[in-house]
């Protein structure tokens, strides 16, 4: 699941590399497709994070408390159940600011798992 999250984050960052303002998401039908796909990937990231948290009995992610895990899961819920209230400016900010930071943390968690330093939590 960590690999899935890592891949979804990297793909989202890559696919949004040409998006330089929130208006770019809404500029054309092709850009709206990028926005919709971005929301779907953010939704799946939130679902995977929720599953990781549940499978590790809330212990693994708690060790990386600088990440707002509940907000990531909450965004998944908003995208899933309140799609009409999604704010494109917030999605833009998440993609450009928060996803690169999350990517670094996910890589750190993967390294810690590979090194066995979190084995007791798995």
pLDDT tens per residue across span 21-38: 999 999 899 999 999 999
Residue 122 lies in a domain: no
Give residue 27's domain range.
2-117
Of the candidates 8, 41, 57, 81, the residue annotated as catalytic is 81
Of the candidates 76, 93, 98, 103, the residue annotated as catalytic is 76
C-beta pairs of 104-112 under 8 Å, 24+ apart in sequence: 105/64, 105/66, 105/67, 106/2, 106/5, 106/6, 106/9, 107/6, 108/64, 109/2, 109/60, 109/64, 110/2, 110/3, 110/6
Is 76 part of the annotated catalytic residue set?
A: yes
- Write out pLDDT tens, residues 34-92: 999 999 999 999 999 999 999 988 888 999 999 999 999 999 999 999 988 899 999 99
* Model pTM score: 0.92
Residue 63 lies in a domain: yes
Number of folded domains in the chain?
Answer: 1
Is 93 part of the annotated catalytic residue set?
A: no
CB atoms within 10 A of CB 28: 10
Residue 56 lies in a domain: yes
Residue 60 lies in a domain: yes
């Amino acid at each position: 699941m960590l690999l899935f999250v890592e891949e979804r984050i990297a793909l989202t960052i890559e696919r949004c590399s040409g998006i330089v303002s929130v208006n770019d998401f809404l500029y054309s039908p092709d850009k709206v497709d990028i926005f919709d796909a971005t929301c779907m990937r953010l939704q799946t990231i939130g679902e995977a994070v929720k599953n990781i948290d549940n499978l590790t009995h809330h212990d693994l992610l708690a060790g990386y408390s600088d990440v707002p895990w509940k907000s990531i899961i909450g965004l998944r819920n908003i995208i899933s159940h309140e799609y009409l209230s999604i704010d494109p400016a917030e999605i833009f900010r998440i993609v450009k600011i928060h996803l690169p930071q999350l990517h670094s943390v996910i890589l750190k968690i993967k390294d810690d798992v590979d090194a066995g330093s979190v084995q007791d939590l798995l």
